[in-house]
Amino acid sequence: MRLVIGSDHAGWSLKGTVIAHLRELGHEVTDVGSYDDKPVDFPDVARKVAAKITAGEAERGIMVCGTGVGASIAANKLKGIRAAVCHDVHSAHQAVEHDDVNVMCIGAQIVGPWLAKDLITSFMEAEFSTDEDFRRRVRKLHEMDAES
């Protein structure tokens, strides 16, 4: 799968681990920064991640900031993005299976590299369910997106 990944300065160091793991799993990764620990604002990074997805250049995205919270707030304000903070493996796959989440956000201050890798594996293996209940709910999310 084609992935886009972005972080702010607080997520930058964990991002390297995440990218290496994604490549080990055979995914194609585009890194939109940051590229060092100089302070950057996560909303600016979220725009870059979302742009790759809405342009059709990536199917999913991953963002890493300090807690994952700021990244998810910012990403969810951008059309076509359904983002969620996932710090447990159940949420990491159910977010895709039930809610068609396309950007997973993780906090480098919250999870270590081993859990981060498990979260990535769980997120990447998941597929959106064909169950009509979940499809209907996500259609309603698309409608809300169109209204805003």
Amino acid at 140: K
* 10 counts as binding ligand R5P under rule CB under 6 A: yes
Closest C-alpha among 78, 94, 102 to residue 129: 94
Binding flag, residue 8, ligand R5P (CB under 6 A): yes
From the list 8-16, 91-99, 111-119, 130-138, the region that binds ligand R5P by CB under 6 A is: 8-16
Exposure of 92 by Cβ count < 10 A (0-12 exposed, 13-18 middle, 19+ buried)?
A: buried
Largest CA distance in the chain: 45
Q: How many CA atoms lie within 13 A of 71 on its CB side?
A: 31
Give whichever of 72 and 102 is closer to ligand R5P, judged by the CB atom.
72
Residue 6 vs 126, nearer CB to ligand R5P: 6
Tell me which of 13, 17, 30, 67 binds ligand R5P, using CB under 6 A. Answer: 67
Stretch that binds ligand R5P, among 12-20, 50-58, 63-71, 115-123 (CB under 6 A): 63-71
DSSP state of 86: -
Provide the binding-site residues for ligand R5P, judged by CB under 6 A.
Answer: 8-10, 39, 42, 65-67, 69-70
